Amino acid sequence: MRVQQPNVCSNIFSYVNLRQETTSTRISDDFKSSFSALRLPEAMRENELAFGEYDKIFAAEWLNEDHIICGTKCNNLIVQNITSQSKWEIPLMKDSGHIPIPDKNCGIHSISKNENNTKLATGALNPNSIGFYRLPSLEPICLGEFHTDWMFSSAWINDNTLATGSRDNRLAFWTIPDEIPHSENDEGERGKLYPIVQPVQHFQGVGNKDKVRAMVYNSLSGHLATIASNGYLHLWDVNTCQRTMTTTLPFMKENVCIAHEKKNNLLYAVGSLSHVSLVDTHGGKSVASLCSSEQGAGVRSVSFNDCIVTVGTGYGSLLFYDIRMNRLLQRQDGTQCQLKVGHGWLRRDLVYQQYFWEAECYPNAIYAHSYHPTTMKLLSAGGPLALGLYGNYLAYWD
């Protein structure tokens, strides 16, 4: 018996016409992804979550369809169920005492899962160190000690290899096997039940201002892209552990986030104080840029969803930039597609009463956002942009 092969259409018009003739017609996966990316923002509705009395959420990630994990400025690691809104704290790993603890704790700025969802890396009790956990149980695997200043960013190269970047100007590579044997010193007076590990490779930045602020791994090219606080983008070949390219970013102030377009091994989006720059690493040049209408708020988070760059701003907006049309996404009525986030929770303490009481509310910066890979729910997290304000915001859009 001959099996009829389905007609695969790359546009909606061919699909409608052929569907009238045969039931074996389907839309190509690429087109479904692109069509979803273009139409999804317009239909999204916010579901704000009660996160409790924690300070700003700097990092957030989907654990599964029902649970998210968040890292806060007040240095707490919290899992929240989006359906029941129940939550629980994950104990942070204690250090060995050999790495200096900074006078000021910056909180957790990075949460990273490996591709197969078997390991998670995030900040530790000492913000200079990094804790590795087993998924889905979130049991501690080991603690990484090396950096001498705040650990700001991390990215998995493969299921067992992680890269980290810090304010100490250093980039480190860690290898974390599934099982790590304990040494005699693993259980001391602090009662640790996990090994202490060191990176297998590390690099020093150029000068005293080359602080690693954000990074992303490009599996298509085998390169790790890092952005430094002095306005440079570096590419590292993870196979040779060599820096292969350095380019100056078009906007020098507050480059704090970076994303990679997964279908194009050359294109990156970098968020700065007022712009999102699209950088083609073939020539090391910026090929396009989006100027945020919220001047001074800063671009705090950025991601790719097919042809759409999603932008989280410091003034509580989610913007959507179409890289094919080189413009912000518009609704069907011609207006700009922009999602404004909710009020979140704000602690009205003495600082608020002395300096901020005149305003009824303050916008929440979106320090982190991400799409769930299968449900296409959009997670958005953050808190008040003003340094003196204490509060948080957490929601998902569907």
Give the 3-state DSSP-derived string for 112-147, with helices as H, strands as E and coil as C. Answer: EECCCCCEEEEECCCCCCEEEEECCCCEEEEEECCC
pLDDT at 10 over 60: no
Phi-psi region of 158 (alpha: psi -120 to 50; beta: other; left: phi over 0): beta
Residue 164 — φ and ψ, nearest 5°?
-130, 150
Grade residue 375 by pLDDT with cuts at 50, 70 and 90: confident
What is the phi/psi pair of residue 14, to 5°?
-65, -35
Distance between CA atoms of 49 and 236, rounded to whole angstroms? 38
Average pLDDT, the chain: 84
Question: What's the pTM?
Answer: 0.87
The tens digit of pLDDT for each residue in 79-107 reads 999 999 999 999 999 988 777 777 788 89
| Cβ 281 vs Cβ 246: under 8 Å | no
Task: Tell me the average pLDDT across 153-179.
Answer: 93
Residue-level pLDDT at 4: 43
Q: What is the model's pLDDT at position 144?
A: 95
Helix (H) or strand (E) holding 161: strand 161-166
pLDDT at residue 393 is higher than 50: yes
Confidence of residue 32 (pLDDT cuts 50, 70, 90): very low
Closest CA to 214 of 58, 328, 386, 371: 58
pLDDT reported for residue 16:
34
Strands (E), 238-328: 242-248, 257-260, 267-271, 275-280, 285-291, 299-305, 308-313, 317-322, 327-328
Instruction: State how far the Cα of 128 lies from the Cα of 143, in Å rounded to an integer.
Output: 11
Residue 361, pLDDT score: 66
Question: For the chain, how far is it from start to end, CA to CA, in angstroms?
Answer: 43
User: 123 with 162: CB under 8 angstroms?
Assistant: no
Per-residue pLDDT, 105: 84
Handedness of CA 349, 350, 356, 360 (dihedral sign): positive
Give the model confidence (pLDDT) of 110-143 as tens digits: 999 999 999 999 999 999 999 999 999 999 999 9
Confidence of residue 20 (pLDDT cuts 50, 70, 90): very low
pLDDT of 291 above 70 = yes
Tell me 24's DSSP state.
T
Higher pLDDT, 356 or 86: 86
Q: Report the C-alpha gap between 237 and 368 in whole angstroms.
A: 27
- Contact indicator for 241, 201 with CB cutoff of 8 Å: yes
Residue 225 belongs to what H/E stretch?
Answer: strand 223-228
Q: What pLDDT, on a 0 to 100 scale, did the predictor assign at position 390?
A: 95
Are the C-beta atoms of residues 343 and 329 closer than 8 Å to each other? Answer: no
Is the link from the previous residue into 140 a cis peptide, with omega within 30 of 0?
no
Sequence letter at residue 322: D
How much is the pLDDT for 30?
54
Percent of the chain with pLDDT over 90: 54
pLDDT at 54 (0 to 100)? 97
Mean of the pLDDT values across residues 165-194?
Answer: 74
- Give me the mean pLDDT over the 204-223 stretch: 84
Residue boundaries of the structural domains of the chain: 91-178+193-199
Mean pLDDT is lowest, of 142-156, 174-188, 234-248, 309-323, for 174-188
pLDDT of residue 295: 66
- Higher-confidence position of 303 and 286: 303
User: Does pLDDT of 15 surpass 80?
Assistant: no
At 267, the pLDDT band (50, 70, 90 cuts) reads very high
In Å, what is the CA distance from 44 to each residue of 19, 32, 383? 28, 17, 21
